[in-house]
Structure 1
Amino acid sequence: MKFRHFALAATLSLTALAGSAQAQQSVTMWDFFSGGDGARMKALVQAFNDSHPDIQVKATTLEWGVPFYTKVRTSVAVGRGPDLMSYHLSRLPLGLSEGVLSPITDTDLENAGVTKDDFFTTALKAAEAPDGTLYAVPFDIHSIVLYYNKTFLEGSRFLDADGKLTGIDSLADFEEAMQLAKDKGAEVPLTYATADDGGVYRVFYTLLAQEGGTLIDDQGNVLPGDSAQKAAEAIRIMTDWHDKGFQPEQALYEASVALFTAGKSAFQLNGVWEVPTMKDFEAQGKLGFEWGAVEVPKLMQTRTTWADSHAFAIPAQPEGKPMDPEKRKAVMTVIGWLETHAIDWAAAGHIPAYKPVAESTDYAKMEPNATYAPLADHATYDPRSTIAGVASPAYDAALNIISPAIHGYLSPEDAVTQMTQELQGRLQ
């Protein structure tokens, strides 16, 4: 009897261990989030792990930009990639050309507990290949917005009765507001990173898109049709702001932000990711002014703004060695959980790409996020090109060609010619 009890106990123990081993899934994840984004992602991963003893995420943060995507490409080539990774949707065309992404199937989405209809169309389209195959799950929509310092606008037509920015419906309106701020003592009425690839590119691309221009079309033509003239006009506008003293001279990113937080600028064109900076400074009593942030106004003919998305993707698997179905299901469970808990990610200023969160009452209370959230419906993503997206030749051209142009070192027309030749050469 003792032997039978021992055998039964041993069998039950082994069964329990086998079941535990089968249920326990370890998901390796690579991301590129640092600063406030990094802290929030770490907190989300920890919360997931705490609530899912059967799935444990082991996250590693790598260097943002080219180093991250180079490591992804190399790891996939040797079959040593992570199970899950963050990804910029602007880099999707290059990722597809390199074969580093695994398609996200309807079954995958079902395992995540989400559907395509749950996401903003703009973000979902950016996550798809030209044939409509989904290769990533959008997590947010991040764009540039217009931050404003109410001090320089008090008593003018540009603040309504509630102290909200109003009355900027054209380029002329915006320049009137900037001149007003300059007359009131603003050191530079508008600040953005005029000596930084991202800062220059995003302002240029927003103006170009608002004119209805195309940087690179689906056939690989750079500034096709009348887009060259529209690009020259965008550069001319930015040059004009420089010549009128409306924007800083050769400002790197950190300096451009400091101009606004120090109360020396009336406006800032920068990403939603600086909302936490503003809130932190405000809470610490470091701001001497009231501020707000709105969608970039319709300065040209079309209401649109440059945007990108952080997304989740699964690296391509070695040929003949697909990911274990249970592991893949676990990966999609992680993605689904992060999407449904994106309200915590939104605290970083981002607009959740998952509409049930973006349209929730909790998000509606989140300011200024809720004020600029409508831009998600008509944002313009980077061209679907292997030379566009973050840390790309298109961004390099902004730093090496457009920035010198807006500082008077070459004409807008010459800048467009150089940029066209540079980018077209990259595509050949």
Structure 2
Amino acid sequence: MKTRHFLAASVAALVAGPAMAQQTVTWWDFLAGGDGVRMKALIEEFNEEHPDIQIEGTTLEWGVPFYTKVRTAAAVGQGPDVMTYHLSRLPLGLEEGVLTPITAEDMEAAGLSEGDFFESSLNAAKGPDGTLYAVPFDIHSIVLYYNKSLLEGTDFLDDNGELTGIESLEDFEAALAAVQENGSSAPVSYATGDDGGVYRVFYTLLQQQGGELISEDGEVLPGDSVEKAETAIATMTKWFEEGWQPEQALYEASVALFTSGKSGFHMNGVWEVPTMIDLAESGELGFEWGAVEVPQLMDEQTTWADSHAFAIPVQGDGEMDAEKREAVMTVIGWMNEHSLDWAGAGHIPAYKPVAESAEFQEMEPNATYSSLADNASYDPRSEIAGVASPAYDAAVNIIAPAIHGYMSPEEAVEQIKGELSRAMN
């Protein structure tokens, strides 16, 4: 009996033909902490579901080291098959020639279409001629975290315990004064001594005035953007002079000021949502909290934002074969379809079928601030902007000293124009 079964199985295998060769997809990312844990879990789940496609993942150091390694590896054809990529760094990637176009056939292989993504993230994933060079995975931005305990008895907490009444800069500053009166020693904390914290708040205030950091033709602070940049820096300086924001706070210290109950508000990325949730669930937070889109403090409702995306680097002088590329696009499509798990890190899925799903709409506080996806202000389309760029260097080297009183807003803006203009050359 066993012999007959064996022979039958052998004949069936011959009729079916040879098994499809397994594709190994080499993957690079820069995701550490909670992001890294979630991504590794997604990779493991993908591998379990796809015996014919296996992801071999490597995590590299975030920032300049990652993008430098991508550039050198792609040039000699020793880079990954797919990699995570900040859309704010896309202009530099295009200048360096390390990214391959994502074609309509690629998107079809992934089971995706351009209409599946928020317009803000999709536009940031395209080159100047409209060619797609990356597939967005999320939209991440700064949000306004708030301490409900320090807002009790003020005009800024409604009957449901939700933030209310902040519709202008004057309203926000009144709220800062109110939480200060309620015992807050640092009414609004953000990383006032770090490049990212300073840049993101500054850029949000600049964009809310309709200002430009770098124009499409490469001019730094064109037209009346000089005055708008001065206003942004003057606003941040006032928060320091009034004792509302911490002095030279590094990233970890700015978070600790909020989680310890000393700050009424905290401006930071959505990626700190898991920190707040974990501390609240363990009983270590000590107060109720919430998070909302950064309110409209100036003329327009918008907030600094960026996206993690997936990109396919050039392969030196060669080209990726068709079967490997189809496997890579299968990975990218699957990741977007499963981005609800990624949203657990605080992010907003860039893939609208997930962002608009009932499951995501029940995810808090993500659903509360998800409106920012339509109001996102991405970094200028310039090779000197984006994460770990000269624009971020200017934030920590020029804007940070200015908001602590070491130079005037006018002097700071003059230095920014000079530094970034020189970086263009």
Quickly name the TM-score band, shorter chain normalised. over 0.9
Task: Give the TM-score normalised by the residue count of structure 2.
Answer: 0.97
The answer to whether the 8 Å contact 1:27/1:58 transfers is yes
Matching residue within 298, 308, 333 for 2:330: 333
Match of 1:72 in 2: 70
Match of 2:393 in 1: 396
Matching residue within 164, 178, 186 for 1:188: 186
Give the Cα separation in 2 of the matches to 1:369 and 1:226.
35
Match of 1:351 in 2: 348
Shift, 1:236, TM fit: 0.2
Consecutive unaligned residues in structure 2, runs of 5 or more: 1-5
Consecutive unaligned residues in structure 1, runs of 5 or more: 1-5
Shift, 1:318, TM fit: 2.8
CA distance 1:29–1:377, change in 2 (3 Å): same
Q: Is 1:222–2:220 an aligned residue pair?
A: yes
Query: Equivalent residues in 2 for 1:18-57 (5 A)?
Result: 19-20=18-19, 22-57=20-55
- Kindly report structure 1 stretches of 4+ aligned residues shifted beyond 6 Å: 6-16
Q: Is 1:125–2:123 an aligned residue pair?
A: yes
Partner amino acid, structure 2, of 1:56? Q
SS at structure 2 position matched to 1:23: coil
CA distance 1:66–1:9, change in 2 (3 Å): same
Partner amino acid, structure 2, of 1:354? Y
Query: Equivalent residues in 2 for 1:16-415 (5 A)?
Result: 19-20=18-19, 22-319=20-317, 321-415=318-412
Shift, 1:153, TM fit: 1.0
Partner amino acid, structure 2, of 1:169? E
CA displacement, residues 5-52 of structure 1 (integer Å, 9 cap, x when unaligned): x99998987898x833x4311000000000000000000000000001
CA distance 1:324–1:188, change in 2 (3 Å): same
Over aligned residue pairs, what C-alpha RMSD do you find? 1.6
* Number of matched pairs: 420
Partner amino acid, structure 2, of 1:416? V
Shift, 1:316, TM fit: 1.2
The answer to whether the 8 Å contact 2:156/2:166 transfers is yes
Partner amino acid, structure 1, of 2:377? T
Partner amino acid, structure 1, of 2:344? A
Shift, 1:124, TM fit: 0.1
SS at structure 2 position matched to 1:28: strand
Give the Cα separation in 2 of the matches to 1:283 and 1:400.
38
Give the Cα separation in 1 of the matches to 2:55 and 2:69.
20
The answer to whether the 8 Å contact 1:151/1:290 transfers is yes
Give the Cα separation in 2 of the matches to 1:212 and 1:137.
28
Give the Cα separation in 2 of the matches to 1:9 and 1:334.
32
The answer to whether the 8 Å contact 2:188/2:264 transfers is yes
Match of 1:3 in 2: none
Give the Cα separation in 1 of the matches to 2:338 and 2:8.
43
Identity of aligned residues (%): 68
CA distance 1:418–1:355, change in 2 (3 Å): same
Give the Cα separation in 2 of the matches to 1:52 and 1:178.
52
Task: Give the TM-score normalised by the residue count of structure 1.
Answer: 0.96
CA displacement, residues 309-340 of structure 1 (integer Å, 9 cap, x when unaligned): 00000001233x21110100000000000000
Partner amino acid, structure 1, of 2:387? V
SS at structure 1 position matched to 2:18: helix
Q: Is 1:420–2:417 an aligned residue pair?
A: yes
Give the Cα separation in 2 of the matches to 1:368 and 1:7.
59
Partner amino acid, structure 2, of 1:323? M
Query: Equivalent residues in 2 for 1:10-21 (5 A)?
Result: 19-20=18-19
Partner amino acid, structure 2, of 1:328? R
The answer to whether the 8 Å contact 2:121/2:350 transfers is yes
Give the Cα separation in 2 of the matches to 1:253 and 1:333.
37
The answer to whether the 8 Å contact 2:75/2:314 transfers is no
The answer to whether the 8 Å contact 2:176/2:244 transfers is yes
Give the Cα separation in 2 of the matches to 1:281 and 1:246.
24
CA distance 1:95–1:157, change in 2 (3 Å): same
Give the Cα separation in 1 of the matches to 2:136 and 2:9.
48
The answer to whether the 8 Å contact 1:102/1:317 transfers is no
CA displacement, residues 377-413 of structure 1 (integer Å, 9 cap, x when unaligned): 1100000000000000000000000000000000000
The answer to whether the 8 Å contact 1:66/1:391 transfers is yes
The answer to whether the 8 Å contact 2:190/2:197 transfers is yes
Partner amino acid, structure 1, of 2:30? F
The answer to whether the 8 Å contact 1:142/1:273 transfers is yes
CA displacement, residues 208-257 of structure 1 (integer Å, 9 cap, x when unaligned): 00010000011000000000110000000000000000000110000000
Q: Which segment drifts farther, 69-78 or 6-15?
A: 6-15
Give the Cα separation in 2 of the matches to 1:13 and 1:363.
44
Partner amino acid, structure 1, of 2:371? P
Partner amino acid, structure 1, of 2:305? A
Give the Cα separation in 2 of the matches to 1:98 and 1:129.
13
CA displacement, residues 261-316 of structure 1 (integer Å, 9 cap, x when unaligned): 00000000000000000000001110111000000000000000000000000001
Partner amino acid, structure 1, of 2:383? T
Partner amino acid, structure 2, of 1:384? R
SS at structure 1 position matched to 2:159: coil
